[in-house]
Amino acid sequence: MVSNGKKVVQMFVALALFLSILASATNVSAQDENVLRVQTEVEIATLDPNIATDGTSMEAIAALQEGLMTRNQEGEFVEAAAESYEVSEDGTVYTFKLREDAVWSNGTAVTAHDFVFGWQRLADPATAAEYSFILDTAGVKNAAKVTAGEVDKSELGVVAVDDYTLEVTLEIATPYFLSLMAFSPLFPINEAFYESTDGQFATSPETIISNGAFVLTGYTPAGATTDLTKNPDYYDVDSVSLDGLRFQVIKDSQQAVLAYQTDQLDVTNISGEQVTLFSADPEFRSVEQGYMWFISPNQLNENIANTDLRLAIGKAYDREVISNNVLKDGSLPAAYFIPQLLADGPDGTDYRDVAGRDLMSSNAEEAQAHLEAAKEALGTDSFTLSLLIEDTEASINVAQSLEAQIEATLPGVDIQIEQTPKKNRLDRMREGDFDLGLTRWGPDYADPTTYLQLLITDSSYNDARYSNEQFDADYAAIQTGDLVLDPEARFAKMIEMEKLALSEGAVLPVYQAASAVLVKANADQIGFYTTGTPRIFKYAVKQ
């Protein structure tokens, strides 16, 4: 119970925080009314395209930089830094002709060498980039060998034929290759500028240059605000209506709504009761996302390594309660791992419609039966498990519901919520310093492998430490083996793989996210996407 004195202190702290946000935002709006002010729930962790792993950082990077491809106003993938491209008959060699009017914000030309350097740095084991796997996912020749340290990065299948011709060689034809060329880990990096930053690359406006719609004018890593200004040297500057962008971190949704209502924000997320309150407002939007939220059960914990305990937890909570009563933002209860509306099968049917939606059902009786089996196998009647979450309002609310439901369904199981900033959560899960982790994954491209690859034994994102030889073998077959050129068999195998993983409690799905958003009536043309970068602001307007 919180005392009245503590309540007063908390109220003053919240008021002080809001006044700080208000003063900061007022300064920006007074300087330039054509700046789009966007709330984010977490900090921008990094602006280094090779290092960023979260959607918020990737949104900012995509505003600053461009790859070979980008999305147009209709959401289609079109040429960006590349003016055109050709593909060999067997689909394994892509030759990109770069536009000669593209320059970095320091006046240096954007060349094929910048892509070679950026990709080689991404693959280099010395960089320790978590997204290095994306090169192998794209099918780039020798990517896996380079990231494993087996061959030098110069052996990567990317070559600058000349300043404006880039040749990419793949191990095998990759259907979604071009869509990945719009993804931030594969953006170019100018080597001379990178070397000039003396190890401080992309940590301040002085240590980053842009080839995209905006340039960086205000930023500190994990800071509360990030400011961007229109890039006058951008080749397509005529398509950019905004004079700038401001990303503002406000984790509490009530404070965010207050800032929105007092015209200090143009775009904000809302959740819980606020969705009900604003659902009839003409500025309300519900945006379906590809993000899957799930519990990652760390199998380094000897109790969680027991399959029955994982399945007991995964069946103990009602997903509809979380979606409909806690979030209330259009998010879908998910007893599956691969989201709907991600990818179609060979006959054009959505993957989820074929694979089914009830792969890990909420069932109290089954949960209790699995718990009894776990107790017998592990020789104990009680389990105390921490649930690591990030300190956002939605995560806290969902975690509290999970805690209450799991403990009510499973006698002897004690869930202890541990909240921390998102970056710390990610670091701890990567290091294996957790029991259960409430986490999410957004699809990088429109294929089920963007999720399945998380569960490969050696995947850098396999926080659960799940390992199954059959799963690994099947993944090799659908990516580089004899199923690659058999769409029907490949599709069927991916369905089998998802069912296998969930039958063993590799992950415990919770919900497929939707975003409840308020967007000012005078703001428009923000691109919302379910794959790759979640939001793109190049074409946004503020009237």
Q: Tell me, what's the pLDDT at 329? A: 86
At residue 276, the pLDDT reads 87
Measured CA to CA, the distance from residue 510 to residue 516 in angstroms comes to: 18
State the CB neighbour count (10 A cutoff) for residue 127: 17
Distance set, CA 38 to CA 42, 247, 356, 519 (Å): 12, 5, 36, 9
Q: What are the residue ranges of helices labelled H in 198-298?
A: 253-261, 273-278
Structure tokens belonging to residue 216: 């960086």
- Asked if residues 40 and 247 have their Cβ atoms less than 8 Å apart, the reply is yes
- Backbone φ and ψ for 217, nearest 5 degrees, come out as -120, -15
Name residue 418's amino acid. Answer: E
Using DSSP bridges, classify how beta strands 383-390 and 436-441 pair: parallel, antiparallel or unpaired. parallel
Angle at 390 between CA 508 and CA 396, to 5 degrees: 80
Structural domains in the chain plus CATH codes = 55-237+520-542 (3.90.76.10), 288-515 (3.10.105.10)
Q: How many Å apart are CA 497 and CA 512, to the nearest integer?
A: 19
DSSP secondary structure, 7-59, as one string: HHHHHHHHHHHHHHHHHHHHHHHHH-TTEEEEEESS------TTT--SHHHHH
pTM: 0.78
> Consecutive 10-residue runs of the chain (543 residues): their mean pLDDT?
37 44 44 87 94 94 98 93 97 97 98 98 96 94 97 98 98 91 97 98 98 97 94 98 97 93 95 87 89 97 98 98 92 96 92 97 97 98 97 94 98 98 93 97 91 94 97 94 90 98 98 93 93 93 94
**Tell me, what's the pLDDT at 29?**
40
- Rounded to the nearest 10 degrees, the angle between the axes of helix 393-409 and helix 364-378 is 70
Residue 67 and residue 188 in contact, taking contact as beta carbons nearer than 8 Å: yes
The dihedral region occupied by 107, where left means phi > 0, alpha psi between -120 and 50, and beta the remainder, is left
E strand segments, 411-507? 413-420, 436-441
Q: What is the pLDDT of residue 32?
A: 62
Is residue 119 helix, strand or coil?
Answer: helix
The residue assigned the tokens 């693959």 is 123
Q: Give the C-alpha separation, 40 to 201, whole Å.
A: 23
* Residue in this structure with the two tokens 């109790």, named with its chain if needed: 303
Q: How far apart are CA 327 and CA 273, in angstroms?
A: 8
Q: Which residues neighbour 395 within 8 Å (Cβ) at sequence distance 6 or greater?
A: 389, 419, 438
